[in-house]
Structure 1
């Protein structure tokens, strides 16, 4: 691919977002996979080109597909956008697609996932049903198999290499790599969420989504939390473990609970209306009723 992990001279390497992008590019280069690859353009770190094999045991298994990833300025606090350049019969070519890892569903994105996790998830999404998905295509299995056979000779005008050549280079680099080419797993949140994302996410009010997005910090606000999120990403297995438990809460000291209840009761009693006021009101009501009866009977 006609890209490089070196930062251009005008790149602000002090930016947490830029440092995160460079680290991800270096991690993908140093730990290659025989099934996919991605690199940023030399002229624009926010535009990446990816190439991946189709998922095994599927109509796409013989295919090799190329596409683009566009990172937002606030990456990774906000998710990237994806589009395929190679016709594949599952997604429209050169059109942004709707995924639970893309900019169409910012509420499901987690900053720790990164490009590698997105590529692994993207392969799994190819086997899902279209169900009216934005950028999805309804085609027959025969058409998808034919496009898979034709996809290996696709050549990106920017990368100037065929898909087959790019994947062959990935295989060679993986064999030469000192570290093992172990793959990452699709995060558990995506395994459970992508099948019904079109039903559940479609019904979500846009105002709620906007509030959630606006509440996220941006990497340029100077906060340490945003900088930490921007620079941190999971390099091997980004899936969240289900057996992670919260530490137990400390037990209260003897007598603490009783004191707390007493304080609460005292506070509640102080907020209530005094009993003598209630009695005075009742007496006034009775007196007024007696006066009204006296006036009526006197007539």
Structure 2
């Protein structure tokens, strides 16, 4: 597969190329690191174990570095491919200021700083930093066998890779590179679980606060209202007043009856004349 062509215009690519050139021009005898020809965001590294009396003193450890698309704003992640007895093989490791917040990674740090930190963290308590539980003899045995371990992608053993690195570094004085005190280590899935746990705790605290605001002390109980407790408007029945008939009304009624009788008499008389 031919090498992929990258543009150096973006800040991320410029930073990656700058770090790769710096590691090449200022090589360290304790580690080597370089990006793949096909992907600048994927690196391989070979790391020498911490000095004696560390059980990893004779060990050479190979692994991968993955740079996020927003590097260096986000930290790189690492995977050890060589068994060491300290880190689980092919398990992603993150570096950050806090073991639970990788967003606090300092952009001023880089791959070199991270590799120096990894090397120093190898001698820390594995149980404390989420490492593998194994005794010193097992770690020493793996360290002695690590030089023959070969990366299939690189096509070289750890011993050959570090020998080439030592030749590049020369016989100059080996300086000690310090690790920032704020830099911590943790596994990525542990960071995710911790972040989720914190979110759940925050939600629980919000719910508890709402409960306290609604009903301090004993929880409030809503009593159902009976029909007798519901306010209603009472409608008073209206009394119909019956007015006594006046004398005028009585006279009018009698006049109407008289006229009616007269009309009936005239009609009957008219009919009788036709019959006779």
Task: Map 1:160-175 onto structure 2 (within 5 A).
Answer: 160-175=155-170
Tell me the distance in 1 between the aligned counterparts of 2:18 and 2:133: 38
Q: 2:179 aligns with which of 172, 183, 186?
A: 186
Cα displacement string for residues 80-126 of structure 1 (whole angstroms, at most 9, x for unaligned residues): 11110000000111111354379964144111110000000000111
3-state SS, counterpart of residue 48 of structure 1: strand
Runs of 4+ deviating beyond 6 Å: 101-104
Number of the residue aligned with 2:41: 46
1:35 aligns with 2:30: yes
8 Å contact kept, 1:88–1:147? yes
Q: Does 1:11 align with 2:6?
A: yes
Q: Deviations over 1:232-282 (max 9, x none)?
A: xxxxxxxxxxxxxxxxxxxxxxxxxxxxxxxxxxxxxxxxxxxxxxxxxxx
Cα distance in 2 between the residues matched to 1:161 and 1:46: 21
Deviation at 1:27, TM superposition (A): 0.2
**Superposed displacement of residue 72, structure 1:** 0.4
> Aligned partners of 1:143 and 1:102: how far apart in 2?
30
Cα distance, 1:103–1:39 mapped onto 2, change above 3 Å: farther
Q: Is the 8 A contact 2:95 2:114 kept in 1?
A: no
Candidates 64, 79, 84, aligned match of 1:68: 64
CA spacing shift, 1:142–1:183, aligned 2, 3 Å: same
Aligned mates of 1:71, 1:103 — CA distance in 2? 18
Instruction: Give TM-score scaled by structure 1 length.
Output: 0.58
| Counterpart secondary structure, 1:188 | coil
Which of 124, 128, 133 matches 1:128?
124
> What is the count of residue pairs matched by the alignment?
193
The Cα shift of 1:188 comes to 2.6
Task: For residue 187 of structure 1, report the CA deviation from its aligned partner.
Answer: 1.1
Aligned to 2:78: 82
Alignment match, 1:278: none
CA distance in 2, matches of 1:52, 1:187: 19
Between Structure 1 and Structure 2, the one with more strand by share is 2
CA distance in 2, matches of 1:103, 1:27: 28
Q: Larger relative contact order (C-alpha < 8 A, sep ≥ 6)?
A: 1
- Verify the 8 A CA contact 2:67 2:77 in the aligned structure 1: yes
CA distance in 2, matches of 1:11, 1:89: 38
Asked whether the equivalents of residues 61 and 80 of structure 2 are also in contact (C-alpha less than 8 Å), the reply is: yes
Distance in 2, Cα, partners of 1:86 & 1:102: 26
CA contact (8 A) 1:87 1:147 kept: yes
In structure 1, stretches of 5+ residues that fail to align are 1-7, 209-299
Flag the 1:13–1:126 CA change in 2: closer, same or farther, 3 A.
same
TM-score, normalised on structure 2? 0.63
Q: What secondary structure, in the 3-state scheme, does the structure 1 residue paired with 2:151 have? A: coil
Residues 182-230 of structure 1: per-residue CA shift (max 9 Å, x gap): 442111323xx569xx9xx95896459xxxxxxxxxxxxxxxxxxxxxx
Aligned equivalents of 2:148 and 2:134: distance in 1? Answer: 21
1:256 is aligned to none
Going from structure 1 to structure 2, the CA distance change for 1:108 and 1:143 (only over 3 Å counts) comes to farther
